[in-house]
């Protein structure tokens, strides 16, 4: 396991990090940083697969939830299903800006 910066945010200038709504943040107990990007996509970054820059639109997230399968998410492990499901559901329930 690689060490990681607990406070890292998206790279400056790449996303508007002044108004980042994070559903999960890296911490000692969380391997995920999940936030809404400026283009209304959900960025889903695992600390060991950050370079994949994975993001999903509403239809893709709804599809993963309805299938109860998150296998397309880089870094996903079966024991993380509940935490991803909760974050995805919270994002879908937030009002669209």
pLDDT digits (tens, 9 = 90+) for 39-92: 889 999 999 998 888 999 999 999 999 999 999 999 999 999 999 999 999 999
31: helix, coil or strand? coil
Number of structural domains found in the chain? 1
Residue 41 lies in a domain: yes
Domain, as residue range, for 46: 17-93
Is 68 a domain residue? yes
In a domain, 1, yes or no: no
CA angle 57, 10, 76 (to 5 degrees): 55
In a domain, 4, yes or no: no
Q: Which are the contacts of 75, defined by CB distance < 8 A and separation ≥ 6?
A: 31, 32, 46, 47, 48, 49, 52
Confidence of residue 17 (pLDDT cuts 50, 70, 90): very low
In a domain, 5, yes or no: no
* Phi and psi, residue 61, nearest 5°: -65, -45
Report yes or no on 55 lying in a domain.
yes
Of the listed ranges 19-23, 33-37, 73-77, the least confidently predicted one is 19-23
Does residue 11 belong to any structural domain of this protein?
A: no
């Amino acid at each position: 396991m690689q060490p990681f910066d607990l406070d890292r945010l998206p790279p400056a200038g790449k996303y508007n990090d002044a108004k980042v709504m994070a559903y999960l943040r890296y911490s000692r107990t969380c391997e995920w940083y999940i936030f809404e990007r400026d283009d209304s996509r959900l960025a889903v970054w695992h600390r060991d697969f950050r370079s994949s820059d994975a993001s999903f639109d509403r239809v893709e997230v709804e599809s993963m939830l309805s299938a109860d399968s998150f296998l397309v998410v880089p870094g996903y492990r079966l024991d993380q299903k509940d935490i991803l499901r909760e974050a995805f559901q919270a994002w879908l329930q937030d009002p669209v800006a």
